[in-house]
Amino acid sequence: MTKKSYEEINEKIRRGEAVVVTAEEVIDVVAEKGYAKAAEEIDVVTTGTFGPMCSSGVFINFGHAKPRIRMQKVWLNGVEAYGGIAAVDAYIGAAQVAENDPENKVYPGRFMYGGGHVIHDLVAGKDIRLEATSYGTDCYPNKNVDTVITLADVNEAFMFNPRNAYQNYNCAVNLGDKTIYTYMGVLKPRMGNAAYSTSGQLSPLFNDPYYRTTGIGTRIFLGGGIGYVAWNGTQHHPNVQRGENGVPMVTAGTLALIGDLKQMDPNWLVGLSYLGYGPTLAVGVGIPIPILDEEMLRYTAVKDEEILMPVVDYHQGYPYGNHTDLGFVSFKDLKSGRVNIKGKDAVTTPQSSYPRARQIAAILKAWIQAGKFELTQPVAKLPGADSPIEFKSLPDRQPSGAVSMVRNRR
């Protein structure tokens, strides 16, 4: 029985002797040599995904102005960043809409520029207009700043994404009779298309379905640089229905990721505009999986046909909770360009880039082979498939005050 420790694998990486394959390549190795032999030979399997991940953003410390300002409201290229932290710290979120965007007033809105685009431009080293306002205090008398910054100018800029790398996701269809515009893209009426967003057999958490090696502290590829798993992501909901291979059949685990934006690359953080929905960011994530034993190898050998995702109606089901049972489709069928859902054929619309996911897995493989990237043992585990996490909804309660605490101030 093969047993390898993190330290043994890292020792091989340092010697340049580690055997590294991507999550696609491992499938062929297994077909040729079987699980036991493959587990013995392979040390690391690399995964990758590149798709829209709205729950992403960047913390920035701008440095102090003279005289100093306690930035209350902050805008980067006209897109508001959250300034409710210390004086010159802010958080720019990927899904933030630009201040003067016409939104959906002319439906469907185009959302040409938003938080995701700001992040892309920052990483690309472009000039970013920084505007900030405040009320002035004795220690921070300045009330207004309007200047131009670049990524090189700021003290710190680190990406912190509260929810990335969703383990499985809905396949979105539209059962209504007119086109709808969603975060899953344009959905044609009467199930005219089926949209999906995953890299399937290359996707990180499909290759480690029980979070055995992916945990807090795991070193990863993030946006072209090196990042870490910081925590479980928001909406991490691992105790769901799973197939025999451990792969969840509905949305399950998620990861909160962190990394230094200054090391990242604009190719792997790309601003997106979703018609009628809003702006977001395509994030590149790659996670290495150490082959500690044959069990890990078996997980990484998961194939597209063994990954099932639920079909969800975005006309009534998702927005209003009036769900229609539309069954499951396999990632293999989705990738073929056509799926059959309840007897009807639909063309498939990818949102996540499979070629880019493959490139990420290949880059991470090259880093490890070159001895530039060692694996880390998680310092703590993510809540596992048996943890009693409930997926909660917002409570609907009657507040005691009749007047809104915010609306009357506008």
Q: Which residues are catalytic?
A: 139
Residue 264 interacting with another protein (CB under 8 A): no
Pick one of 78, 136, 243, 350: the residue that binds another protein (CB under 8 A): 350
200 in the Ramachandran plot: left (φ > 0), alpha (ψ -120 to 50) or beta? left
Q: Between residue 272 and residue 301, which ones bind another protein under the rule CB under 8 A? A: 272-275, 280, 282
Q: How far is the CB of 208 from another protein (least distance, A)?
A: 23
Contact with another protein (CB under 8 A): which of 166, 299, 331, 354? 354
Shortest Å distance, C-beta 333 to another protein: 12
Q: Is 379 exposed, middle or buried (0-12, 13-18, 19+ CB in 10 A)?
A: exposed
- Of 209 and 271, the one with the shorter C-beta distance to another protein is 271
Does residue number 125 form part of the binding site for another protein (CB under 8 A)? no
Q: Is 407 exposed, middle or buried (0-12, 13-18, 19+ CB in 10 A)?
A: exposed
DSSP per-residue codes, 339-353: EEETTEEEEEEE-S-
Pairing mode, if any, of strands 308-313 and 171-173?
parallel
Q: DSSP characters for 243-286?
A: -TTS-BSSS---EEEEEEGGG--GGGEEEEEETTTEEEEEEEEE
d(CA 293, CA 47) in angstroms, rounded, equals 18
Residue from 157, 159, 173, 195 touching another protein (CB under 8 A): that is 195
CB of 237 or CB of 335, closer to another protein: 335
Question: Given the complex with another protein, which of 83 and 200 has the nearer CB atom?
Answer: 200
Report the DSSP beta bridge partners of residue 181: 186
Q: Which residue has the tokens 């969800």?
A: 312
Contacting residue, 43, 46, 51, 288, with another protein by CB under 8 A: 51
- Whole-number minimum distance, CB 351 to another protein, in Å? 6
How far is Cα 327 from Cα 111, in angstroms, rounded to an integer? Answer: 33
Q: Choose, by CB under 8 A, the member of 355, 388, 399, 401 that binds another protein.
A: 355
The CB-of-225 to another protein minimum distance in angstroms stands at: 18
Determine, following the binding rule CB under 8 A, whether residue 112 of this chain makes contact with another protein.
Answer: yes
Number of residues that bind another protein (CB under 8 A): 31
Written as six digits, the tokens of 70 are: 């306690």
Torsion angle (degrees, nearest 10) of CA 76, 82, 84, 86:
-50
Can you state the percent helix, strand and coil of the chain, rounding each to 5? Answer: 20, 30, 45
334: its two tokens: 């989705």
* Distance in Å, CB of 337 to another protein, minimum: 6
Are 289 and 265 contacting, i.e. CB atoms less than 8 angstroms apart? no
**One of 168, 193, 207, 251 touching another protein (CB under 8 A):** 193
Is residue 122 exposed (0-12), middle (13-18) or buried (19+ Cβ within 10 Å)?
A: buried
114 binds another protein per the rule CB under 8 A: no
Q: Is residue 351 involved in binding another protein (CB under 8 A)?
A: yes
- Contact region with another protein (CB under 8 A), list: 59-67, 249-257, 353-361, 380-388: 353-361
Contact between 104 and another protein by CB under 8 A: the answer reads: no
Residue 50 interacts with another protein (CB under 8 A)?
yes
Structure tokens given for 268: 């792997």
Minimum distance between the CB of residue 15 and another protein, rounded to whole angstroms?
33
222 binds another protein (CB under 8 A): no
User: Taking CB under 8 A as the rule, does residue 316 contact another protein?
Assistant: no
Measured from the CB of residue 181, what is the shortest distance to another protein in angstroms?
8
Residues near another protein (CB under 8 A) are 50-52, 108, 112, 185-186, 193, 195, 270-275, 280, 282, 335-337, 347-356, 358
